[in-house]
Each structure stands twice: as structure tokens, then as C-alpha cells.
Amino acid sequence: MSSANDTPPSSIRLDHASVMTKHLDRAIRFYVDLLGLSLRTIEDDPIRTGRRRAMLTDDAQNDVIELIEMTDLDHKTIPGQGGIHHIGFRLPVRDWHSLRTRLDAESYPYQETNGCLFIRDADGLVLEIEQDGS
């Protein structure tokens, strides 16, 4: 086991977070209309036959969220049904305030703590939205 001081730099980066949803269309509306991501594609899932997925991107066209349609999420034999505690995002201050205004306009529930918004997506997954800068 190496210590933090002798750990070589890594080129690994987060590619995307994969989120399972019972309601693909509702999840897309949440992430696009409220959170502000862009919809790149809705397609047949290349890994899970008979399911659809949506790929959502940030302003730089980087894939950020993969939404996987899992209408039978309650079934205990679905592999990979693990929990994600939350997904963290960072927004410039102005965009952060715009998001909060959109949430208020939609009466969408959120909690604000120490300059972070905590909201739940269409399936109850917690999103932490921090302000980038001051």
C-alpha cells in the first residue's frame, strides 16, 4: 500500500454516473429541465437487451449521466442494483442561483445547507449542487 506522498499521478477521471430509473422520461425531464444537462441520445441499451437508456451531457458535451430504464427495479435479482449515496455537481454562482430559482418556480423541494443545494431526482437519488467560487 503506497502513501499519499508517493502515489503516482493518475489520469483517471469520472466518465459518467450511471443511474437506474423506473421512469426514464420523468428522469430525463428532471435532469434536463431542472438541472440543466443536455440530452445527447435516447437509445436501446447496448448492454441490457430490451431496455432504453439516455445519455446526458454537460455544456462541454461530456457525458455526465447515463440513465438506464429499469422498470422492474424492485426485483431482487437485478445485478448491480447498488445504492449511490449522492452525485455531486458544481455550478458557477450565477448558474447555481438560476437553478435555485427554477426549483422554486416549480415548487420542487430542496434543502440548502452551507451554500449547497440538496435535491432528489425523480427516483429519490440525492444530488448535491455546490457553488463554484464565491
Tell me if 5 is assigned to some domain.
no
> Cα–Cα distance between 76 and 134 in angstroms, integer?
45
Q: Which three cell numbers stand for residue 132?
A: 463554484
State yes or no: pLDDT of 26 exceeds 60.
yes
Average pLDDT over residues 117-134: 84
Tell me if 57 is assigned to some domain.
yes
State yes or no: pLDDT of 111 exceeds 90.
yes
Q: Are 129 and 121 in contact (CB under 8 A)?
A: no
pLDDT tens digit sequence for 48-76 = 788 899 999 999 999 999 898 887 765 55
Average pLDDT over residues 99-120: 92
37/77: higher pLDDT: 37
Tell me if 125 is assigned to some domain.
yes
State yes or no: pLDDT of 101 exceeds 70.
yes
Residue 71: what pLDDT? 74
DSSP the chain: ---GGGPPP-------EEEEES-HHHHHHIIIIIT--EEEEEEE-SSSTT-EEEEEE-TT--EEEEEEE-TTTT-TT-TT-----EEEEEEEHHHHHHHHHHHHHTT--EEEETTEEEEE-TT--EEEEEEE--
Tell me if 78 is assigned to some domain.
no
What are the residues whose beta carbons fall under 8 Å from the beta carbon of 73, sequence distance 6 or more?
20, 21, 22, 81
The CATH number assigned to the domain holding 45 equals 3.10.180.10
Structural domain boundaries, residue 96 = 14-72+85-132
Domain count, the chain: 1
User: What's the pTM?
Assistant: 0.69
Residue 83: what pLDDT? 53
State yes or no: pLDDT of 88 exceeds 90.
no
Residue 82: what pLDDT? 46
